[in-house]
């Protein structure tokens, strides 16, 4: 039996634009998904729970999965099981072994909230399953295989950003197929969560339609790329004030692309009114989380009293990516 864990992430800059080859800078945060894998003869038995779900168990033979009785949208459950199925397929392919697994998932990362839950689970599942089968993947291959999981489940709309960040930890820069860790100062992240989740596939498709229909939408995506490049300079200089200003700008551009929501905007403005250095949605949007920079407690307090904000917490930059332990 092997247990592996991987961190979630926030986007400092660049979500959505990264799908079109523009750079993005995600940062791993100290919220983790832990996956325990034990080999069995055949089939899969998955026991899962996180801070947004009551624990559930589903057992199936890989050809027909049962729908667990949990109070979340079908699209999230189907996607969640899809990530596990594809991660298992990648692990068995890497090891050249055909078998089944008992899988137990415990996650601190809200499902579908833009904090990299699916990427963290994919990375941790592949790492734990391959190690259970006696194979140790390099971090580069692990990140690539986890990306293939997201690419398959998200119908070709995924980028390498989430899975690379969750594998490596810290701050990373992703532009197309080029992924690399970068230096970053200690960033005082505050996260606000509205209790909901956006439909990543639908939101990415919506941006694609806008980009195809309107030249200015394509220009907006290019502008996000330019903003990310400016943000890299601020990171290298450790200029947190400038990083915050660029986060504010990035949120405005994402709103123009139609991926924000009333609750996300309310949380962003509450953070700004509390003198946060910057605030923006993180992830696909449509609901979920915002990330703000604030060394004081003012943003946390303001978010706690913001209608539509269900939970507020700090999550420091995680310099540790995927880790494992064997029993």
Considering the chain, what is the average pLDDT of its residues? 89
Examine the domain organization and report whether 93 and 213 are in the same domain: no
Tell me how far CA of residue 23 lies from CA of 104, 178, 189, 304, in angstroms: 34, 9, 21, 33
Q: How many CB atoms lie within 10 A of CB 3?
A: 21
Give me the pLDDT at residue 50, please: 58
**pLDDT tens string 3-62:** 999 999 999 999 999 989 999 999 999 999 999 999 999 888 888 765 444 444 556 555
The stretch 146-170 carries a mean pLDDT of 90
Average pLDDT over residues 112-138: 94
Residues 300, 156 share a domain: no
Residues 79 and 155 in one domain: yes
Checking if the pLDDT of 72 tops 50, the result is no
Same domain, 201 and 176: no
pLDDT number for residue 114: 84
Provide the annotated active-site residues: 162
Q: If pLDDT is split at 50, 70 and 90, which confidence band does 196 have?
A: confident
The verdict on 51 and 114 lying in the same domain is yes
Q: How far apart are CA 197 and CA 204, in angstroms?
A: 14
Give yes or no for a contact between 80 and 48, defined as CB atoms under 8 angstroms apart.
Answer: yes
Mean pLDDT of 75-84: 66
Res. 277: pLDDT tops 90: yes
Tell me: do 18 and 162 sit in the same domain. Answer: yes
155 and 33 in a common domain: yes
What CATH number has the domain bearing residue 213? 3.30.70.890
Provide the β-strand partners of residue 317.
Answer: 29
> Do 170 and 222 share a domain, yes or no?
no
Residues 232 and 274 in one domain: yes
- CATH number of the domain residue 112 falls in: 3.30.230.10
Q: Are residues 17 and 98 in the same domain?
A: yes
Q: Which residue has the higher pLDDT, 231 or 46?
A: 231
**Number of domains composing the chain:** 2
Across 126-150, average pLDDT = 96
pLDDT at 64: 41
Same domain, 223 and 238: yes
pLDDT reported for residue 51:
44
pLDDT for 56 equals: 47
Total-model pTM: 0.87
Rounded Cα gap, residues 103 and 249, in angstroms: 41
Query: pLDDT digits over 237-264, tens only?
Result: 999 999 999 999 999 999 999 999 999 9
Do 36 and 166 lie in one domain? The reply is: yes
Torsion angle of the four alpha carbons 316, 79, 63, 100, in this order, in degrees rounded to the nearest 10: 0
SS3 content of the chain, % helix, strand, coil (to 5): 40, 25, 30
Q: What confidence score (pLDDT) does residue 112 get?
A: 75
Residue-number span of the structural domain to which 78 is assigned: 2-183+319-326
Q: Residue 65: is its pLDDT beyond 60?
A: no
pLDDT value of residue 158 = 76
């Amino acid at each position: 039996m092997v247990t592996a864990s991987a961190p979630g992430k926030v986007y400092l800059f660049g979500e959505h634009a990264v799908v079109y080859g523009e750079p993005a800078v995600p940062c791993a945060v100290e919220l983790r998904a832990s996956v325990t894998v034990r080999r069995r003869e055949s089939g899969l038995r998955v026991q899962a729970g996180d801070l947004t779900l009551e624990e559930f168990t589903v057992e199936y033979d890989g050809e027909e999965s049962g729908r667990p009785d949990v109070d979340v949208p079908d699209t999230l459950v189907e996607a969640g099981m899809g990530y596990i199925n594809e991660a298992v397929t990648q692990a068995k392919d890497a090891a050249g072994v055909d078998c089944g697994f008992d899988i137990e998932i415990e996650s601190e990362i809200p499902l579908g909230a833009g904090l990299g839950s699916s990427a963290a689970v994919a990375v941790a599942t592949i790492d734990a399953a391959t190690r259970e089968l006696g194979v140790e993947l390099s971090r580069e291959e692990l990140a690539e295989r986890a990306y293939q999981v997201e690419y398959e489940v998200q119908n070709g709309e995924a980028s390498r950003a989430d899975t690379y960040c969750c594998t490596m930890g810290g701050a990373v820069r992703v532009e197309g197929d080029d992924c690399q860790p970068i230096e970053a100062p200690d960033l005082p992240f505050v996260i606000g969560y509205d209790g909901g989740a956006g439909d990543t596939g639908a939101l990415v498709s919506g941006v694609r339609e806008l980009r195809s229909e309107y030249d200015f939408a394509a220009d907006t995506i290019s502008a996000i790329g330019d903003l990310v490049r400016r943000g890299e300079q601020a990171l290298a200089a450790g200029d947190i004030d400038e990083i915050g200003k660029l986060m504010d700008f990035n949120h405005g551009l994402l709103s123009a692309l139609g991926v924000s929501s009333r609750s996300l905007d309310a949380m962003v403005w509450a953070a700004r009114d509390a003198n946060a250095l910057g605030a923006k949605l993180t992830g696909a949007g449509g609901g979920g989380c915002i990330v703000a920079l604030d060394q004081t407690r003012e943003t946390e307090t303001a978010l706690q009293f913001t209608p539509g904000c269900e939970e507020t917490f700090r999550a420091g930059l995680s310099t540790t990516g995927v880790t494992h332990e064997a029993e």
